[in-house]
Amino acid sequence: MKLFSFWRSLATYRVRIAMNLKGIVPDEVIDVNLMKGQQRDEAYRGINPMMALPALVDGEGPAMFESLAIIEYLDETHPNPPLLPKDPKGRARVRGLSQIVACDSHPLIVPRVREYLEHELKIDEPRRNAWCQHWHRAALTAIETNLKDKATGKYAHGDAITMADICLATQAAGAGFFKVDLAPFPIFKRIVETCNQNEAFARAHPLRQPGAPASV
């Protein structure tokens, strides 16, 4: 298995957590430096035409892309521990919480969007940061409201780790990068703190990857 990765990539962080939980060790981790724009190099464009991380090649390929699709692939091929509940309504809730992070919130703050705001729309750094913080808070507000549901337990859905917890942990890391205060989101914060005590989450953290700085 080859994982295309970068220390700061929150989407790759999601896949790393899933791999750690399932005890999957990739044979190769290929660094694609997002800060140098290597995601746009022709070689990587051939792997993922969206020019985004992560991508995963299992055996002969083809390359898989989009973190949630990769996590579900890993869940189907390595079913233990399961990352989705068994019942359809539970699966829909876990996928919904995950998609708030991976599909509604995170795509608004990625390098391609921040760079477009900077270079095309000439938006200065304080206002770009305000943009990122706004979309973080919008997602956190929706997630916190959803977590008030009785389906929430020790984790986002019941008392076992699911894909939703993986996504919550990455949302919290992103909030840290953009200095978003988590105090107004106590259930979210509690669940992320519980997750981060788990070695599979801790080892996958962006700041624990090769090439990462001591802090952001």
Ligand X SMILES: N[C@@H](CCC(=O)N[C@@H](CS)C(=O)NCC(=O)O)C(=O)O
Residue in 52, 57, 173, 200 binding ligand X, rule: CB under 6 A: 52
Interaction between residue 39 and ligand X (CB under 6 A): yes
- Token digits for 201? 């989450």
Interface of this chain with ligand X, residues 16 to 35, rule: CB under 6 A: 34
Interface of this chain with ligand X, residues 100 to 129, rule: CB under 6 A: 102, 107, 110-112
Torsion angle (degrees, nearest 10) of CA 125, 127, 133, 137:
-170
Distances (CA, A) of 211 to 10, 35, 169, 187, 208: 15, 12, 21, 32, 9
Phi, psi of 3 (to 5 degrees): -110, 125
CB nearer ligand X, residue 64 or residue 161? 64
CB of 113 to ligand X, least distance (A): 7
CB of 171 to ligand X, least distance (A): 12
CA gap 9, 29 in Å, rounded: 13
CB of 49 to ligand X, least distance (A): 12
CA gap 102, 95 in Å, rounded: 10
Spell out where the chain has E strands: 2-5, 28-31, 55-57, 64-65
Interface of this chain with ligand X, residues 168 to 207, rule: CB under 6 A: none
Residue in 58, 66, 72, 165 binding ligand X, rule: CB under 6 A: 66
Q: Which residue has the tokens 């792997």?
A: 47
CB nearer ligand X, residue 121 or residue 183? 121
CB of 102 to ligand X, least distance (A): 4
CB of 200 to ligand X, least distance (A): 19
Phi, psi of 102 (to 5 degrees): -80, -25
Task: Report the interface residues with ligand X, using CB under 6 A.
Answer: 9-11, 34, 39, 51-53, 66-68, 102, 107, 110-112
